[in-house]
Structure 1
Amino acid sequence: MIKPEAILFDLDGTLLDTAPDLHRALNTVLAAHGRPEVTLQQARPVASHGSTGLLELGFGDDFNEHSRLPLRQAFLDAYADDPHRDTRYFAGVETLLAKLQNASIKYAIVTNKPTQFTDALLPHFTQLQASSAVVCGDTLKVAKPDPAPLLYAAQLSQVDPARCWYVGDAERDIEAGRRAGMTTVLAAYGYIADHDQPDRWQASYAISDALQLLDLLKLTDAVL
């Protein structure tokens, strides 16, 4: 195991549970179109797929090439109204990040979430403001599963990519991490649907809660 100098994290479904606010935005759009609402239980597994995945869930075949752009804009407008009202850290994340800081391990965020919404969230989560880098879905011309955003975050953090770990809850996260030459950790507590096959994603490790990362790093007893 290569001891990391930096841990890079996905945001939605890994550090923050954003599903309740994404779910509310989806139901706002569904109601405006006379569609039945979906439950949070239905929305949560696809929350990592952003507006596209959620709108496909709510509209089915009616989310198509003709409706895609206006529905996506309506969703983004609804989400922008209040993107952090019910968003919370996943259990253990604050402790995890504090212990990483104490152990002088940098941490950064690499997300496919647009900068507009990432910037709207981070001021409400103090621990995330200590990130050595924040790379969003529109920071570069490509997004995950392309490895470029991860490599850019490593560059901004001044850490060799080979000395970075990447933690995420989606197949594209693991693919991007592997292509970037990083050790990958599946956040199995995140937004994983029943039809997903995470055992085929070839993550280096899997954790069922955020604090299990400390066990992998042998930082369980680190002093805060």
Structure 2
Amino acid sequence: MREKWEKPEAILFDMDGTLFQTETLLIPVHERLFDRLRQDGLFEGDTPSVEIMLSSLGMLLAHIWERVMPGAGAEVHKRADDLLLELEIEGLRRGEGELYAGVRETLEALSGMGIRLFVASNGLPEYVKEIVEVKGLSPYIEESYTAGEYQTATKADLVRLLLDKHNIRHAWMVGDRSSDVEAGHANGLKVVGCAYAGFGKEDELANADRTIASLNELELWLTGDE
């Protein structure tokens, strides 16, 4: 029998691979981005595999470009930053990109229990907030925190800032990458690992306190229906 967890004051969610099915937006955007870089004369050759990009999700953007375009300089990485954001926002506003099944319903249920809900993401602030807005999550998400907005060096620092700002003492961290596990534990939080995205390594969530195969399991735990 699983250990019963006390209802948290707040739940902090990662975005990519946790609430948002990133590949449904990133795969078409990835191809467009490298087409634009080639048009700008900043990139030559074949488009790097999108799998490298997907496996890097959860990292800071600067580290992602080091993996995707290791030989490119700061100018190229900066242009890629700008293009990625521009193309992702365009795609979201066209209706591209999908939430995981049951996300909106689960957030509504958790919010209805009086649990405060936040996003803590290494993504760009405009991108994360656009997802929250266009995908109908703004009634449930109290605030979104991103490394890009607060210039935090690690996810643990971002989570600490969020907790301190809102005077939260008892929370869960929910995410799909080892950086989410580390950020939660560094701040004394219970960590729920999302095992449904499949972007990371096999042992990515080995140190999570629990893992889930779909987000609605959170509601089931809290209502005693699991």
Query: Normalization by structure 1: what TM-score?
Result: 0.80
Q: Count matched residues.
A: 211
Deviates more, 1:47-56 or 1:179-188: 47-56
TM-fit CA distance, 1:119:
3.1
Contact 2:23 2:54 (8 Å CA) reproduced: yes
% identical aligned pairs:
19
Q: Indicate the residue corresponding to 2:204 in structure 1.
A: 198
Residue identity opposite 2:192 in structure 1: V
Alignment deviations for residues 9-39 of structure 1 (CA, whole Å, 9 cap, x no partner): 0111111123333333432343323433356
TM-fit CA distance, 1:137:
0.6
Contact 1:183 1:204 (8 Å CA) reproduced: yes
Indicate the SS of the match to 1:91. coil
Q: Indicate the residue corresponding to 2:31 in structure 1.
A: 27
Residue identity opposite 1:197 in structure 2: D
Deviates more, 1:118-127 or 1:9-18: 118-127
- Structure 2 runs not aligned, ≥5 long: none
Counterpart CA distance in 1 for 2:190 and 2:20 is 21
Counterpart CA distance in 1 for 2:109 and 2:165 is 21
Deviates more, 1:207-216 or 1:28-37: 28-37
Indicate the SS of the match to 2:208. coil
Q: Indicate the residue corresponding to 1:150 in structure 2.
A: 159
Indicate the SS of the match to 1:110. strand
Q: Indicate the residue corresponding to 1:16 in structure 2.
A: 20
Rate the CA distance shift 1:92–1:35 in 2: closer, same or farther, 3 A: farther
Rate the CA distance shift 1:105–1:73 in 2: closer, same or farther, 3 A: same
Query: Normalization by structure 2: what TM-score?
Result: 0.79
TM-fit CA distance, 1:209:
1.1
Rate the CA distance shift 1:165–1:110 in 2: closer, same or farther, 3 A: same
RMSD over equivalenced CA pairs, Å: 2.7
